[in-house]
Amino acid sequence: MNLKPKGIAEMSKNRRNHSAAFKARVALEAIKGEKTMSELSSFYVLNPAQIQKFTCHSFSIDGCA
C-alpha cells in the first residue's frame, strides 16, 4: 500500500560528498560575483547556504558563520 501523495519525488538515500576542488571552484565563482547566488545554486544544485559555507571555509573570511 503506497501512502505517498501524488507528485512527491522520492529522496535519494545517498549523501553527496563534495571534493575540496569542487568546493574551491564554487567558492571562487561566488567570490568573483559574475553570477548571483541563486544562479550558482541552480547550476551546481546546491543550497545557497552551502555555497556561503564553502566560501567562508575556503577563504577564511571573518564574520562568516
Nearest to 22 by CA among 32, 14, 33, 30: 30
User: What's the rounded mean pLDDT across residues 32-40?
Assistant: 93
Owning domain of residue 44: 20-59
pTM of the model: 0.69
User: What's the rounded mean pLDDT across residues 35-40?
Assistant: 93
Length in residues, the chain: 65
Q: Which three cell numbers stand for residue 42?
A: 541552480
Q: What is the per-residue pLDDT for 57?
A: 79
**15 domain residue, yes or no:** no
27 with 51: CB under 8 angstroms? yes
Question: Predicted confidence band at 8 (pLDDT cuts at 50, 70, 90)?
Answer: low
**Total structural domains within the chain:** 1
